[in-house]
Chain A
Amino acid sequence: MSVNTVPCTVKPTVTLQIGDAETDSSRPGVYVIDVTLPIGQTVNIQEISFKNYYTAYVSVRLLRRDGEGAAKWTTCLRNHCLMPSPHTEEGSQDYCSVYRQQMLIEPDNVTSVRLILRQPSSAWLNFSVEDIKIHPCLNEDSEWDIPDWLSDLTQVDQLCDLQGLPDPQTVSSSIQQMWALTEVMQTNQTTASIGRFDVDGCYDINLLSFT
């Protein structure tokens, strides 16, 4: 689970009910949560993570912006089960993640995410998902700059005109050992000082400073 998250706004839940909301006293079984990105920004989603709170099934729809600029809603996850049995506790408060690989379509250039939550059981007073985070794809290429010397490696076999020259393998081995010995010496240097107070080899009183 990567640490990078995209800043987004989670809108308040909307309930979907049959009948009039004011007169009907039964509790809703479907909630819809919209998550929007700041205007103009799009994201290639790697992962959507959230904390479940007694939601049984979740569907995910994405608002994607294609090449021409038109926005289109598509379903990327259909009825994903979070609780194996809606009446029981199992899976009710789990931390869940929906990965790119699980989605039906490529979640690229997404401007908005809609989570549709369903809880068919009447056992629970309330249900929702909390702490929704959207994780973008990491661009692997920009993080890894190949240094120049890696592409500059030469093979011994490529150089054929080694007549009369000493064997590069043995010479290289000796040079490597000499380099390693020098490094050993350098890493074991001490910063301790013997505590001399003389300047240029003499203790002339005029040279002593008062700092």
Chain B
Amino acid sequence: MAEKRRSGGTSGMSESKPTKTDTEREFLSQAGVGELLRGALLKMVEARSEDPMGFLADHFCNQASEAENGTGGCCSDGDLLNLGAGAHEQQQLSRALWHLRLAHHSQRSAFSNNVRVAYDLLTQTGPQRRGAVGPSGPAGQCSSNSPGGGVRGRLYTHTLQCLCSEGGVPVSTSAPLLRRLHCQDHEAVPYDIFRHGVLTCAVFSDYIRRAQRLYAEVCGPAEGPAGRTLCLAVLGTLHEALETSRSNGGSSDANHYSNANAKANPYLEAKVSRYLEASAKISPGKLAQAMAGAEPAGGNMDAKEFEDAAAELFIARVRVVC
């Protein structure tokens, strides 16, 4: 496909061979090359990928297939669409995932933009099926309210699964999380829930990678598995810190703070004091104390069990989609 485009381009150029710079400039502005390149450069700066060549190739590939589908999507040939629907969906999914991979979730605005683009991409599969005659009747209903109406539940769940597996999370570890986040196949997922699910999975993959690194640190230089009580002591401090900084929890000391300066925003002050208290619980001193207090006997804990225990702390705080 790439070769076809290139040859088309060169044949066009050979016909009207420019000799003066004015005609060259005219040609470039007519073809809209400036916009194309500007868009590519902006995306590249946002993503800061380590492989610029590969990134640009992927980017132009996506643009090309999107442009193709845009013109060809209005055709009402039901049978052809039916056959191509599955493959088309797969294509949309891989493109959406590519967008979601561009920015890390900590780059808040870039990540939000990419989530929006991915959401729009995935909702486009809705109107495509309007012409379908097969048993996928309900698809027309969910897209009749607005262009799209939302991402199909099945596609949304599939996106989350791919995000988790790409992030290095084993299927068994991410299963409980997906049970909380998934939607029914036939449901239309609105943007807020889509964003919530995607962000949670991105953060979860970072969290699990950290937990794996933590296990390696707890094992220390010794090659064998870490002691059970030691692992539980370390995870216990994290559990305590999370309990302390919970929105509706926290110690009663927070209520004693009555600084005149912060009277205007007592909620913020209470939150800050809870965060400070929680961070004190996971300071190096506290961890050293917890680890020194762990009894040496009690068997070992392997990496998988540690990962599951850490994942449980995270997943317990994820809001169930309902």
Provide the residues of chain A in CB contact with B220, threshold 8 Å: 164-166
Provide the residues of chain A in CB contact with B203, threshold 8 Å: 181, 184-185
- Closest A-chain residue to B105, C-beta based? A184
Provide the residues of chain B in CB contact with A153, threshold 8 Å: 280, 283, 285
Provide the residues of chain A in CB contact with B219, threshold 8 Å: 166
Give the CA-CA distance A177 to B207 in the complex, in Å.
8
Q: Does A155 contact B (CB under 8 A)?
A: yes
Contact between A166 and B217, CB atoms less than 8 A apart: yes
Contact between B217 and A147, CB atoms less than 8 A apart: no
Q: Least Cβ distance of B12 to chain A in Å?
A: 48
Contact between B253 and A149, CB atoms less than 8 A apart: yes
> Which of B190, B284, B313, B318 gathers most chain A CB within 10 Å?
B284
- Closest B-chain residue to A189, C-beta based? B319
Give the contacting residue for A182; candidates B187, B251, B284, B314; CB below 8 A. Answer: B314
- Closest B-chain residue to A192, C-beta based? B192
Provide the residues of chain B in CB contact with A177, threshold 8 Å: 210
Provide the residues of chain A in CB contact with B288, threshold 8 Å: 154, 156, 159, 162, 165, 168
- Closest A-chain residue to B256, C-beta based? A145
Provide the residues of chain A in CB contact with B218, threshold 8 Å: 166, 171
Contact between A182 and B242, CB atoms less than 8 A apart: yes
Q: Does B44 contact A (CB under 8 A)?
A: no
Contact between B213 and A185, CB atoms less than 8 A apart: no
Provide the residues of chain B in CB contact with A194, threshold 8 Å: 183, 187, 189-190, 193, 321-322
Q: Least Cβ distance of B54 to chain A in Å?
A: 29
Contact between B217 and A170, CB atoms less than 8 A apart: yes
Provide the residues of chain A in CB contact with B283, threshold 8 Å: 153-154, 172
Provide the residues of chain A in CB contact with B36, threshold 8 Å: none
Provide the residues of chain A in CB contact with B286, threshold 8 Å: 154, 172
Contact between B237 and A175, CB atoms less than 8 A apart: yes
Give the contacting residue for B284; candidates A145, A152, A172, A186; CB below 8 A. Answer: A172
Provide the residues of chain B in CB contact with A188, threshold 8 Å: 196, 199-200
Contact between B210 and A181, CB atoms less than 8 A apart: yes
B304-322 interface with A by 8 A CB criterion: 310, 313-314, 317-319, 321-322
Q: Does B165 contact A (CB under 8 A)?
A: no
> Which of A145, A161, A176, A177 gathers most chain B CB within 10 Å?
A176
Contact between B196 and A147, CB atoms less than 8 A apart: no
Give the CA-CA distance A182 to B322 in the complex, in Å.
21
Provide the residues of chain A in CB contact with B318, threshold 8 Å: 185, 189
Give the contacting residue for B282; candidates A147, A161, A179; CB below 8 A. Answer: A179
Contact between B284 and A178, CB atoms less than 8 A apart: no
Contact between A168 and B285, CB atoms less than 8 A apart: yes
Q: Least Cβ distance of A74 to chain B in Å?
A: 32
Q: Least Cβ distance of A140 to chain B in Å?
A: 11
Q: Does B59 contact A (CB under 8 A)?
A: no
Provide the residues of chain B in CB contact with A147, threshold 8 Å: 251, 253, 256, 273, 277
Q: Does A190 contact B (CB under 8 A)?
A: yes
Give the contacting residue for B206; candidates A159, A166, A181, A189; CB below 8 A. Answer: A181
Give the contacting residue for A165; candidates B251, B292, B310, B314; CB below 8 A. Answer: B292
Give the contacting residue for B291; candidates A148, A171, A183, A196; CB below 8 A. Answer: A171
Q: Does A79 contact B (CB under 8 A)?
A: no
Give the contacting residue for A175; candidates B189, B234, B251, B285; CB below 8 A. Answer: B234
Contact between B314 and A185, CB atoms less than 8 A apart: yes
Q: Least Cβ distance of A146 to chain B in Å?
A: 9
Q: Does B259 contact A (CB under 8 A)?
A: yes
Q: With A148-B253, A174-B214, A194-B322 in contact, is A168–B193 under 8 Å at CB?
A: no
- Closest B-chain residue to A160, C-beta based? B292
Q: Does B278 contact A (CB under 8 A)?
A: yes
Q: With A154-B286, A162-B288 in contact, is A178–B310 under 8 Å at CB?
A: yes
Give the CA-CA distance A172 to B288 in the complex, in Å.
9
Give the CA-CA distance A126 to B143 in the complex, in Å.
83
- Closest A-chain residue to B253, C-beta based? A147
Residues of B within 8 A of A (CB): 105, 183-184, 187, 189-190, 192-193, 195-196, 199-200, 203-204, 206-207, 210-211, 213-214, 217-220, 230, 234, 237-238, 241-242, 245, 247, 251, 253, 256-260, 273, 277-289, 291-292, 310, 313-314, 317-319, 321-322
Q: A170-B217, A181-B314 are in contact. List 19 more A-B contacts (CB 8 A).
A: A147-B256, A147-B277, A158-B285, A159-B289, A164-B220, A166-B291, A168-B287, A168-B288, A168-B291, A171-B217, A171-B284, A172-B286, A175-B241, A177-B210, A178-B314, A182-B242, A185-B318, A189-B319, A190-B319
Q: Would you list the 8 A-B pairs with minimal beta carbon distance, nearest first?
A: A192-B192, A154-B285, A147-B253, A168-B288, A172-B284, A168-B284, A174-B214, A145-B256
* 8 residue pairs A–B, Cβ–Cβ below 8 Å: A149-B253, A150-B280, A156-B285, A158-B285, A166-B220, A169-B284, A172-B284, A172-B287
